[in-house]
Amino acid sequence: MKRLSDKELLSAVARKATSMSVPQRRRFLQAGMIVAGTAAGIAQTPRTVADTLQVKAWSKQLGRGVVSAPYGSPSRHEAHVVRRNVPWLTADTVSSISFTPLHELHGIITPNGLVFERYHAGVPEIPPEQHQLLIHGLVTRPLVLEMNDLMRFPSVSVIHFLECPANGGMEWRGAQMEALQFTHGMISCCEWTGVPLSVVLQEAGLKPEGKWILAEGADGAGMTRSIPIEKALDDALLAYAQNGERLRPEQGYPLRLLNPGWEGNTSVKWLRRLKVGELPWHHREETSKYTDLMPDGRSRRFTWVQDANSVILSPCPEKPWTGMIGRFHEIRGIAWSGRGRIKRVDVSDDGGVNWRPAQLKGPVLSKALTRFVLPYEWDGSPKLLQSRAVDETGYVQPTLAQLRDIRGVESIYHKNSIHTWALSNDGAVRNVQIS
Amino acid sequence: MMVRFAMYKFLNLCWIVVLSAVCLPTMAKDAGTYGLGRAATETDIAVWDIDVRFDGAGLPAGNGNVAQGEMLFDAKCSACHGDFGQGEGRWPPLAGGNDTLRHQGADGRPEKTVGSYWPYVPPLFDYIRRAMPYAAPKTLTDEETYALVAYVLRLNEIVGDNFTANAQSLPQIVMPNRDNFFFDPRPDSPNTACMEDCVDTGTLRLIESITGVTPSEHLGINKESSAEKIINVGAVHYKASCAVCHAAGVAGAPREGDSVEWKRRLQVGGEAALIDSVISGKGLMPPRGGGAHLSDEDITAAARYLIRLEKSN
């Protein structure tokens, strides 16, 4: 058989097609185009008639009416945009964590259905009219507040990230996750609405000797954390709404604590009790967990703040640049700091030897995800892509080697080091570490 | 007349009592700025005030010893934590790990257990009472909790066989790792924002990820529809267009979960015939179940979702 060029094959297919009825032609063209693609050895998916400009079926019929999905749902073509878990990480899913699909998200707000989950005894389903918050201890007026009471207080709405301090923790000892969702997905960013904790503490009559607060959850695990009074009076929030709707059950419905910029575990969900005391409690979650083991065998505790961090979302293992040599790109990513605003993000494509400043896009808010982009022409050669965040305190995101020099490899929490993606000449992206 | 007057006085008194009860918490002189909520009573507080501090503040009355704890542990804890607190599967070990905290990588992993890592004992009582047993938290009595604390300490060889745990004995125990916690000194690991020739390329070493441990199905999700994706799509269409009749069995529609009926229908001509009948309509069901906007692919996905739903019931 004579080998035809792409052009010759396509014009032969077109000639044959003109002598057919419309349905015949459609079938023939589809088959022919596939043959053409295959014969010519075109690497990408063969183009079919469906890809050419023509009036599509959905333009010639009626679609669904209102309230066919009363609460709405994403396009069915986005059904792969979901939280995922790592089954081997924990004994079961009731006390486990799921990961936000950062690579599929745009802007800085995480949709509520995609905010990573962390439970210690599963999600309690709490009727809001039965939920109560007890405030007692070193206060002059111990109070019981119903949800209706809490929602009458002066409210605020703030945009903050929430991050598990174990985010990236699976990579302390080495690169072992092949996907961004698992290397960085224990983070989300939402608009939270509620009443400042300082307002409610004042209502209860905080005594001067009250230096610490025990926050306790109403879930089976009865999660507790000790919060110093300085944080409680600074920016801690009793949150009842998230991105405009009431909290999701997964996020603490009907009431949670939110400690902006601090490790997620302190933002106790399903909050039922605040006890004011003189000393920290040193409970299970602040001694046996959420402490950092150093190389000398000693451990840090009360490691509350999430230091500046960043990661590149495009390209990444889930969003490779396959077939995109030479075209315009934005290297896109997110940065954040628990100590305030992101001041700058730099990007390197040679493993950290040389850096270029990226642009910060959209709102740059304190303790919130901040987008950064770098316009980029990719020549198709392999690259080692990194991003490096600097926050308003001047803190510069450390390299992995710098972090390990101080903290060893058993720290588990607060791994905020510069991350490396290896971009291959075929556009594929691998998670690697540079040491 | 006297009776009426007495009743009048009595009713007035009632009003005063009622008003006081309702309004005092918010009208009291020392009420907060907003007057919201109600005053918590001592009784309210006693029910929820379960926390125990590191120094033993909050420990309740009662006792529990090692022998009692062993029986309870075998019955309620060993399935997850192992007979000797060694842990089962991915469930946490409670005992062992002495002198492992300096292990970093090559020397083996540190084992953080009650004995090797926990700095104080009273929070162990607190945690067991609030969160254990895993499947039935807050069901242990104070005595049972003391007994379990005693046994876990025994498993760690921190107390002897005759130990009794109570509010006096627990705060006195000095745990092996007690003095090894310190306050967070971050920011540490200082970096500088160098822009050019920041690293000697000769020293760079590239380490690839371990393969095979990542649940990475989603890495190829954009290539082709997976079976899971079809099921997800089907669920959307089923719920939007089919469930209105099939969920409740309206007009003779076979219900979700009616395994006998679905099996019967599948036996007639298999899945293909079933899907054909949905597309062209059958009995009282109009073509495409009335969902004129649905493509054949949508109908197929919805039907597969429903059949799968039936199979799993």
For residue A87, give Cα distances in angstroms to A118, A175, B235: 14, 18, 24
A96 shares contact with chain B (CB less than 8 Å): no
CB contact under 8 A, A291 and B181: yes
A182 shares contact with chain B (CB less than 8 Å): yes
In this predicted complex, what is the ipTM?
0.87
A34 pLDDT above the threshold of 90 = no
Q: In this predicted model, what pLDDT tens digit does every residue of A142-175 receive, in sequence order?
A: 999 999 999 999 999 999 999 999 999 999 989 9
Alpha carbon distance A264, A259 (integer Å): 8
Phi, psi (deg, nearest 5) at residue B72: -65, -45
Task: Choose between B266 and A77: higher pLDDT.
Answer: A77
Q: What is the pLDDT of residue B6?
A: 53
Mutation target to probe the B interface, by most B beta carbons within 10 A, among A95, A238, A288 is A288
Q: Determine what percent of chain A is predicted with pLDDT higher than 70.
A: 88
For residue A99, give Cα distances in angstroms to A265, A309, A317, B179: 15, 17, 15, 35
A283 shares contact with chain B (CB less than 8 Å): yes
A68 shares contact with chain B (CB less than 8 Å): yes
Query: What residues 52-71 of chain B have any CB closer than 8 A to a CB of chain A?
Result: 52-55
pTM: 0.79
Which chain B residues have a beta carbon less than 8 Å from that of A422?
206
B224 to chain A, minimum CA–CA distance in Å?
11
Pairing of strands A256-258, A212-217: unpaired
Contact A219, A356 (CB under 8 A): no
Residue with tokens 């089919």: B242
CB contact under 8 A, B120 and A282: yes
B213 shares contact with chain A (CB less than 8 Å): yes
Phi, psi (deg, nearest 5) at residue A255: -150, 135
A396 pLDDT above the threshold of 70 = yes
For chain B, list the strands marked E by DSSP: 38-39, 63-65, 164-166, 181-183, 206-208
B44 shares contact with chain A (CB less than 8 Å): yes
Pairing of strands A237-242, A187-196: antiparallel
A321 pLDDT above the threshold of 90 = yes
Q: What is the pLDDT of residue B312?
A: 47
A222 shares contact with chain B (CB less than 8 Å): yes
Contact A157, A195 (CB under 8 A): no
Q: In this predicted model, what pLDDT tens digit does every residue of B51-71 receive, in sequence order?
A: 999 999 999 999 999 999 999
A238 pLDDT above the threshold of 90 = yes
CB contact under 8 A, B194 and A144: no
Cis amide bond preceding A254, omega within 30: yes
CB contact under 8 A, A282 and B109: no
B52, closest residue in chain A (CA to CA): A281
Which segments in chain B show pLDDT lower than 50?
Answer: 1-3, 5, 10-11, 13-29, 221-226, 312-313
Task: Choose between A129 and B220: higher pLDDT.
Answer: A129
Q: In this predicted model, what pLDDT tens digit does every residue of A334-379 receive, in sequence order?
A: 999 999 999 999 999 999 999 999 999 989 999 999 999 999 999 9
Amino acid type, A53: L
Q: What is the pLDDT of residue B311?
A: 53
3-class DSSP state for residue B47?
helix
Q: What is the pLDDT of residue B10?
A: 47
Burial class (CB within 10 angstroms; exposed 0-12, middle 13-18, buried 19+) of A269: buried
B291, closest residue in chain A (CA to CA): A64
Nearest to A402 among B118, B189, B194 (CB): B189
B117 shares contact with chain A (CB less than 8 Å): yes
Contact B52, B62 (CB under 8 A): no
A&B contacts, CB < 8 Å = 288
| pLDDT band (50, 70, 90) for residue A47 | low
Q: Which residues contact A194 (CB under 8 A, 6 or more apart)?
A: A150, A155, A156, A237, A238, A239, A240, A241, A255, A258
B224 shares contact with chain A (CB less than 8 Å): no
Phi/psi class of residue B197: alpha, beta or left (left: φ > 0; alpha: ψ in -120 to 50)?
left
3-class DSSP state for residue B77?
coil
Alpha carbon distance B235, A76 (integer Å): 10
B36, closest residue in chain A (CA to CA): A149
Q: In this predicted model, what pLDDT tens digit does every residue of A248-266 receive, in sequence order?
A: 999 999 999 999 999 999 9
CB contact under 8 A, B31 and A141: yes
A173 shares contact with chain B (CB less than 8 Å): yes
Burial class (CB within 10 angstroms; exposed 0-12, middle 13-18, buried 19+) of B306: buried
A64 shares contact with chain B (CB less than 8 Å): yes
For residue B36, give Cα distances in angstroms to A31, A153, A240, B25: 72, 8, 17, 9
CB contact under 8 A, A282 and B105: no
Token digits for A195? 């009443």
Cis amide bond preceding A357, omega within 30: no
Q: What is the pLDDT of residue B243?
A: 76
- Torsion over CA: B192, B197, B201, B207 (sign): positive
B308 shares contact with chain A (CB less than 8 Å): no
Residue with tokens 């996750």: A177
3-state SS string for B111-153 = CCCCCCCCCCCHHHHHHHHHHCCCCCCCCCCHHHHHHHHHHHH
Mean pLDDT, to the nearest integer, of A225-254?
98
Phi/psi class of residue A374: alpha, beta or left (left: φ > 0; alpha: ψ in -120 to 50)?
beta
Q: What is the pLDDT of residue A1?
A: 38
B294, closest residue in chain A (CA to CA): A63
Q: What is the pLDDT of residue A185?
A: 98
Token digits for B150? 């005693």
3-class DSSP state for residue B69?
helix
A274, closest residue in chain B (CA to CA): B49
Pairing of strands B164-166, A309-314: unpaired
Q: What is the pLDDT of residue B267?
A: 83
Q: What is the pLDDT of residue A107?
A: 96
Phi/psi class of residue B35: alpha, beta or left (left: φ > 0; alpha: ψ in -120 to 50)?
left
Q: What is the pLDDT of residue A17?
A: 38
B249 shares contact with chain A (CB less than 8 Å): no
Q: In this predicted model, what pLDDT tens digit does every residue of A281-309 receive, in sequence order?
A: 999 999 999 999 999 999 999 999 999 99
Task: Choose between A205 and A6: higher pLDDT.
Answer: A205
B136, closest residue in chain A (CA to CA): A220
B183 shares contact with chain A (CB less than 8 Å): yes
Nearest to B36 among A152, A409, A422 (CB): A152
Q: In this predicted model, what pLDDT tens digit does every residue of A354-364 receive, in sequence order?
A: 999 999 998 99
CB contact under 8 A, A174 and B207: yes
